[in-house]
Amino acid sequence: MRSKAAIADHPLHPMLIVIPAGAFIMTLVMDILYLITDQALWWLGTVPVILLGVIGALLAAIPGLVDLVAVAPHQGARRIAITHMIINLVVVALFAWNGFTRWSAAAPPEPGTPWLGFWLSLVGVALLAVSGWLGWEMVYRYHMGVVEHPESKDEAARRKEEAA
């Protein structure tokens, strides 16, 4: 099913999600480095990274929503797409909350002890992994955003005949 939000048949949503996904994972890595090293620089550096991730996720959501509305007619794909969207919205909300708590804090948290932002990062990245799995399910199982060429259909028919 060809994506409606694409450039030269390349779907935009999967291209755009790498920045927020990377930013959210990097936030967790920087939190772990702060826990290990007690260097405030790691904690302070997370605020712009979270901001980049939240803005990037909201931008990536636009073509994702276009594909949800225009391309996901199959009931199974639609159910997965809606679950994927809801999880991603929760991830963005967690990281927005995470960024706000860090931005409004007077100082970094007590060195060596986990704090709210660390747990928000950890849960957010875990949910991001689940959402990524669901996104790949849509591509792999339902061929969302995949351009099917006539020769690949012929190959699938030939394999089916050989199996029978």
Q: What DSSP line would sit under 47-71, residue for residue? A: HHHHHHHHHHHHHHHHHHHHHHHHH
pLDDT in the model for residue 74:
66
Angle (deg, nearest 10), helices 116-142 and 75-104 = 160
pLDDT in the model for residue 9:
65
pLDDT in the model for residue 79:
87
pLDDT in the model for residue 4:
63
Per-residue pLDDT of the chain (164 residues; tens, 9 = 90+): 666 666 676 677 788 899 999 999 999 999 999 999 999 999 999 999 999 999 999 999 988 888 888 765 666 788 888 999 999 999 999 999 999 999 999 888 887 777 899 999 999 999 999 999 998 888 788 777 666 665 555 555 666 666 66
Q: List the one residue out of 140, 100, 110 whose CA is nearest residue 40.
A: 110
pLDDT in the model for residue 16:
86
pLDDT in the model for residue 143:
72
pLDDT in the model for residue 102:
93
Look-up: residue for tokens 């291209």?
15
Classified as helix, coil or strand, 7 is strand
pLDDT in the model for residue 163:
66
